[in-house]
């Protein structure tokens, strides 16, 4: 089943093979980053678009020592727009341009919990498009402020379920349809999102680890990062690399992967932009490629936010911390000596008035989850 699921991708990946000890060994897939307009090594790049991609792969020393494994994390907070969503945003806009849906002076409309909107706002600024963002009114003020500073027309709306016509995604779609020369990029079900990670994230991880990666894990909102990266790594490794979903409370995906039933686990999460109540078109084709899932409680995520700051000097958000918790779980499952890669999605500065606020932590009953020696970082009232 795995090989048949991967067959469509195999035709699109240029794989070299070299003889070694009488056995054929799979080489590295070639990705034409220059043709995609993405950063390559230390060469000059062109503008915002050229700077997207090729983020560093950081070894998390303390956690690697604790597990006896190599815990590695892609520093997506170093992307020019500050998050992993720059990749998807760029590919979504390029896809619309290639299909003739977006012409000069046009408008990009999206429903987003924040980071995709920020990435789109950057891409739109660099390409001369207008940008309209619909988002749940539960998102951090830092994200809303940044979007407006980037020139986006931000429209916070009540957070309602996807099956409600007033869901932010449906409102974004209707607004785009009401405009001339406008496109709803549809990040959840437009597979250009997933393609971004097949073409960039997966190949980067393979190259940066010299092919010595045993597992990849991350959370999913749209499904693009997890599906695209796992699909690429499965194909290039002949199925050897494991793929695991990391899921917050309130999402149905953990149960879907583990039991086949889309049942909600927990009641909600402090994390933003991850977890899902349905199976998206980005994730659906590759769901069967996943080897398992980890349910990560908020208490573990918030503790890891503070640990990463204290032990690694990394100031990252809760979704990044959740990913790292999942990476340590994957390492324990695979055993000592394994190499596990995950994503540091964005920096904590987009959430700092929450994550480092005593009042907010107490309101979420998470203040006690932070060990005593890390309480010194709770610096906001």
Strands 130-136 and 215-219: unpaired
Secondary structure class of 223 (helix, strand, coil): coil
Distance CA 107, CA 100 (A): 13
Dig out the tokens for 80 from the structure: 């020019």
374 and 306 Cβ atoms separated by less than 8 Å: yes
226 and 289 Cβ atoms separated by less than 8 Å: no
Question: Crossing angle, helix 224-236 and helix 2-10, to 10 degrees?
Answer: 90
Tell me which residue has tokens 């992307």. Answer: 79
The most distant pair of C-alpha atoms in the chain lies apart, rounded to whole Å, by 65
Looking from the CA of 232 toward its CB, the CA atoms found within 13 Å total: 28
User: Which of the following is catalytic: 62, 74, 85, 234?
Assistant: 85
CA distances from 56 to 78, 296, 330 (A): 8, 25, 21
What are 75's strand-pairing partners?
344
Distance CA 115, CA 125 (A): 15
Q: What is the 8-class DSSP label of residue 198?
A: I
The values of phi and psi at residue 171, to 5°, are -65, -40
Q: Sign of torsion, CA 7 8 11 13?
A: negative
85 belongs to the catalytic site = yes
69 and 340 Cβ atoms separated by less than 8 Å: yes
Estimate the share of the chain in helix, then strand, then coil, as percent rounded to the nearest 5: 45, 15, 40
CA distances from 161 to 133, 157, 164, 220, 307 (A): 18, 12, 6, 17, 33
Of the candidates 295, 291, 339, 345, which has an alpha carbon nearest to the alpha carbon of residue 318? 345
Q: Catalytic residue numbers?
A: 85
């Amino acid at each position: 089943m795995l090989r048949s699921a991967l067959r469509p991708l195999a035709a699109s990946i240029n794989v070299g093979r070299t003889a070694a000890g009488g056995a054929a060994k799979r080489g590295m897939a070639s990705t034409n980053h220059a043709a995609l307009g993405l950063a390559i090594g230390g060469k000059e790049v062109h503008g915002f678009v050229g700077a997207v991609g090729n983020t560093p792969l950081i070894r998390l020393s303390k956690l690697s020592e604790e597990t006896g494994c190599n815990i590695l994390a892609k520093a997506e907070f170093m992307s020019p727009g500050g998050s992993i969503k720059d990749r998807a945003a760029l590919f979504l806009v390029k896809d619309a341009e290639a299909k003739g849906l977006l012409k000069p002076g046009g408008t990009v409309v999206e429903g987003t919990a924040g980071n995709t909107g920020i990435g789109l706002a950057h891409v739109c600024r660099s390409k001369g498009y207008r940008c309209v963002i619909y988002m749940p009114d539960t998102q951090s003020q830092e994200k809303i402020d940044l979007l407006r500073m980037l020139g986006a027309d931000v429209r916070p709306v009540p957070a309602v379920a996807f099956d409600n016509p007033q869901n932010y995604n449906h409102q974004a779609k209707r607004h785009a349809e009401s405009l001339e020369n406008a496109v709803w990029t549809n990040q959840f079900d437009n597979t250009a999102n997933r393609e971004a990670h097949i073409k960039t994230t997966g190949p980067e991880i393979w190259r940066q680890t010299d092919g010595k990666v045993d597992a990849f894990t991350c959370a999913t909102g749209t499904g693009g990062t997890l599906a695209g990266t796992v699909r690429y790594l499965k194909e290039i490794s002949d199925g050897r690399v494991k793929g695991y979903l990391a899921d917050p409370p309130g999402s149905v995906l953990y149960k879907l992967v583990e039991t086949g039933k889309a049942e909600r686990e927990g009641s909600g999460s402090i994390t933003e932009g991850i977890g899902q109540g349905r199976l998206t078109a980005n994730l659906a084709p590759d769901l069967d490629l996943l080897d398992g899932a980890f349910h990560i409680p908020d208490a573990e995520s918030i503790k890891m936010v503070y640990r990463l700051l204290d032990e690694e000097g990394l100031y990252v958000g809760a979704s990044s911390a959740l990913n790292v918790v999942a990476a340590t779980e994957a390492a324990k499952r695979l055993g000592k000596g394994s190499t596990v890669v995950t994503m540091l999605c964005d920096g904590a500065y987009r959430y700092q008035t929450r994550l480092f606020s005593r009042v907010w932590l107490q309101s979420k009953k998470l203040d006690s989850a932070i060990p005593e020696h890390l309480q010194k970082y709770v610096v906001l009232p």
